[in-house]
């Protein structure tokens, strides 16, 4: 059975914090997800810095990058899918996937009933810094 989880990405510096929600259908256990979240957060920040968008360290941008980076490619899971040029793996452009699958992180409109874990990511005011909290989605456990 899949271990489903939800990731909420928060901007704590805003008084009216409305987190962006992402659904992850499998491998939601803390032993797997905490390192994965850290890896995706670092990759998101590195991506923003490389493109001089480090000022865009916010929940909407980071969530969008999680979706982009999670398009299934087990050989190299953080390389984005190419959408702006033909499928040509020999193209002399930035490294990207010539073809892709479905993202592992999906936007969602609310917390589903079948979740087992909830992860809260707090993006801190200093670009690239974050705090992750995790808990069971079933408080009686």
pLDDT score recorded for residue 96: 56
Q: What is the pLDDT of residue 40?
A: 92
DSSP H or E run through 106: strand 105-107
Domain residue ranges in the chain: 5-136
Residue 85 in contact with residue 97, Cβ under 8 Å?
no
Q: What pTM value is reported for the model? A: 0.79
Q: Are 8 and 20 in contact (CB under 8 A)?
A: yes
The pLDDT of residue 37 is above 90: yes
> CB neighbours (10 Å) of residue 10?
19
Do residues 40 and 69 touch, judged by C-beta distance below 8 A? yes
3-state secondary structure of 24: strand
């Amino acid at each position: 059975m899949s271990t489903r989880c939800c990731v909420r990405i928060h901007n704590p510096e805003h008084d009216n914090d409305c987190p962006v929600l992402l659904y992850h259908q499998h491998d939601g256990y803390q032993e797997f997800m905490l390192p994965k979240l850290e890896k995706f957060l670092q990759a998101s920040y590195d991506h923003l810095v490389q493109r001089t968008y480090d000022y865009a360290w916010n929940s909407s941008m980071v969530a969008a990058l999680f979706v982009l980076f999670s398009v299934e490619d087990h050989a190299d899971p953080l390389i984005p899918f190419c959408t702006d040029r033909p499928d040509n793996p020999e193209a002399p452009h930035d490294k990207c996937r010539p073809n892709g699958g479905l993202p592992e992180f999906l936007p969602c409109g609310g917390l589903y009933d079948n979740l087992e874990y909830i992860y809260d990511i707090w993006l801190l005011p200093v670009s690239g810094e974050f705090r992750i909290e995790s808990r069971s989605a079933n408080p009686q456990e």
